[in-house]
A and B are shown apart, each in its own frame.
Chain A
Amino acid sequence: MPDSQKRLGPLFWICLGFIGLVVFGAIFANVLPLPNPDAQNYAAVNAGPSLHHLLGTDDLGRDLLSRIVFGSRVSLVVGFGGIAIGLAIGGTLGLVAGYRSGALDTVLNAGSFVILAFPPLLAIIVIVAFWGRSLPKLTLIIGIASIPSMFRVIRATTMSYANRDFVVAARALGASNRRIIFRELLPNVAPAAISFALIGVAIIVVLEGSLAFLGLSVALPTPSWGNIIYEGASNNNLQTNPFIALWPALAMFLLLTSLNLVGDRLRSYFDVREGGL
């Protein structure tokens, strides 16, 4: 439980604010006063920042700020959506397995161990190449890939609480397993889950970018941060207009820093131990 001596600090709130800003932009991109992210203007190709284009334009004369704001949708949907899938399935299994132990736990634990032993990026590349790369598919594939690690995190955290006095007491009072898991364990496990989930989102945002560089993120012209950075880094754009890559790279850097810092601070705030992972 929160230690009264610990503070989250102003940086935490700044970072949380930045995450909020990105989420806000992604949700309201359509109503914000932004140019169409796909509108091409060949008269203003590779333009520098101006009142019309606050961050300038890319090599097809599209507004970079608008593409970055719209592109955040892909990164956020894949990131948060993927983790939500991982948490919903892996987290639930982890809670149950961590509490019940026994044969189920042994099987699930061994299973997750084996799957984690397989390089995830390799599996994701092959499956995306095989199955396609629409946003829902990407989210699902990455979400499923995150199940074993979310399982292990939640299982380990649950185990550290499973034999605490309050759980033992609840059991002695005849509480059902379901009640113990959801009423007693879940509230204690949740802070750890959230902090790991945020760091997981950061990992997935990076993964989307890596896939874009392999040509396997969502199909253009749909912007994603990975796609824009990749476009900016190819076609000699680094030599002619490095800002196409630099602006979205900066946005991604800030988002990742924010996610990592918020996750990190939450973890120490709630005194989540990493042992047993």
Chain B
Amino acid sequence: MLGEPVLKYLITRLVQLVAVVFVISVLAFLLVHLLPGDPSVTILGPFDTAAARAEVLRQLGLDKPLPLQYLTWLGNVLHGNLGESFLTKESVSHAIAQAFPIDLELVVLSQIIAFAVAIPLAMVAARRPNKAFDRLSSTFTFGLLSVPAFILAVLLVLVFAVSIHAFPATGWTNLTSNLGQNLRSAILPSIALGAGSVAVYFRLLRSDLISTLQEDYITMARAKGLPTRYILFRHALRPSSFSLLASAGINIGSLLTGAFVVEYLFQLPGIGYQIVESISSRDYLMVQGMALVVAVAFVVVNFAVDFLLVLLDPRIRRA
């Protein structure tokens, strides 16, 4: 199925990906070494003897030169061993396995919400461009672009948690333990995270639809007496959905880090929250492991989206 140029492209990009992931692993590793403080103090506490501290550093290999430390760490990572938390002794990969689904759910739910708002708005708006509804929804979505997640979060908490107690202000219920509670705990953070995407999708879809509606085949369809709603769904939305998905894919990377702040505001134990907590407690291996996972996820998602687009539409390659 894959043509030779596509295959070639794939291989080039894969080589690039490996290179980028390598550099990222170096960055994640070095970044943590920027943090002040002595990891042995984090592990032993401040009262232990200098000898005990040196021993801990030796056990962790932290007395070795940096490149060697990096190679050891990389070797362990490649074997799936990210080490364990200095504080809780929890394995880092276990912590990530607990936390990452939260980020994933937030991102997915936020995009579902964004689509659910943006698509109907854009479809109605595109039917009569520059008329009242179009202008109103354009203004509304443009406004959303200027509401930072932390402000939206504050407003949502003020209205839905403080005033009418409809949703919890903080906390997380796992998807697997109780679906209803899970959605209740996820809804406000997802709205805060997804609001910005509404503006992006709306603008994209609206201009796409407007130009599609001017195409000849649409005029033909109209002439055949097909209802506008049918035309919109069947002939206009479909071709546009491709670019919509593409932009969603490109979005996901930045949403992953956008989730950091939202998780902190709503105190959801996702990766972002855990990283910030671990930075503060100098839990080096935790920061390292989680930073690596976020960064790699970021790159891989971008790559996958990129590649999917090429696969579906080889023209993009040349652009």
Give A residues with C-beta under 8 Å from B: 113-114, 117-123, 125-127, 129-131, 202, 206, 209-210, 213-214, 226, 229-230, 232-233, 238-239, 242, 245, 249, 252-253, 256-257, 260-261, 275-276
Contacts and interface: CB of A to CB of B under 8 A. Distances in A.
B151 A238 contact: no
Contact of B148 (A242, A256, A276): A256
Contacts, number: 109
B306 to A, nearest CB: 12
B241 interface: no
Nearest to A113: B20
B264 interface: yes
A253 B151 contact: yes
Interface string B147-183: 1111100110110001000000000000000000000
Nearest to A254: B146
Given A129-B35, A130-B34, A238-B162, A252 B148 contact: yes
B120 interface: no
A124 B6 CA distance: 37
B31 to A, nearest CB: 5
Q: Which residue, B145, B256, B287, B294, has most C-beta atoms of chain A within 10 A? A: B145
Contact of A126 (B151, B256, B279): B279
Contacts of B34: 126-127, 130-131
B237 interface: no
The size class of the interface chain B forms with chain A is 35 or more
A213 B162 contact: no
A234 B28 CA distance: 32
Nearest to A206: B148
Contacts of A238: 154, 157-158, 162
B218 interface: no
B295 A118 contact: yes
Q: Which residue, A120, A122, A275, A276, has most C-beta atoms of chain B within 10 A? A: A122
A233 B264 CA distance: 13
Contacts of A233: 150, 154, 157
Nearest to A275: B319
Nearest 9 pairs between A and B by C-beta? A256-B146, A257-B146, A119-B257, A206-B148, A130-B34, A121-B257, A249-B151, A210-B261, A233-B154
A118 B287 CA distance: 14
A213 B261 contact: yes
B265 to A, nearest CB: 6
Nearest to A236: B162
Nearest to A123: B31
Contacts of B157: 233, 238
B299 interface: yes
Interface in B214-267: 253, 256-257, 260-261, 264-265
Contacts of B302: 117
A3 B162 CA distance: 51
B154 A129 contact: no
Nearest to B155: A249
A126 B295 contact: no
Contacts of B142: 257, 260-261
A249 B291 contact: no
Contacts of B276: 125, 214
A122 B299 CA distance: 14
20 contacts: A114-B23, A118-B298, A121-B261, A122-B260, A122-B275, A122-B295, A125-B279, A126-B31, A206-B148, A209-B150, A210-B261, A213-B264, A229-B150, A233-B157, A239-B162, A245-B154, A249-B151, A249-B154, A253-B146, A257-B142
B143 interface: yes
Contact of A122 (B36, B149, B291, B319): B291
Q: Which residue, B36, B151, B158, B294, has most C-beta atoms of chain A within 10 A? A: B151
Given A202-B146, A214-B276, A276-B319, A114 B154 contact: no
B139 to A, nearest CB: 10
Contact of A229 (B27, B154, B294): B154
Q: Which residue, B23, B145, B148, B155, has most C-beta atoms of chain A within 10 A? A: B148
Nearest to A203: B148
Given A114-B19, A127-B34, 13 more contacts: A117-B24, A118-B28, A118-B298, A119-B257, A123-B27, A125-B276, A129-B279, A206-B148, A210-B261, A213-B150, A213-B264, A226-B150, A233-B154
B20 A260 contact: no
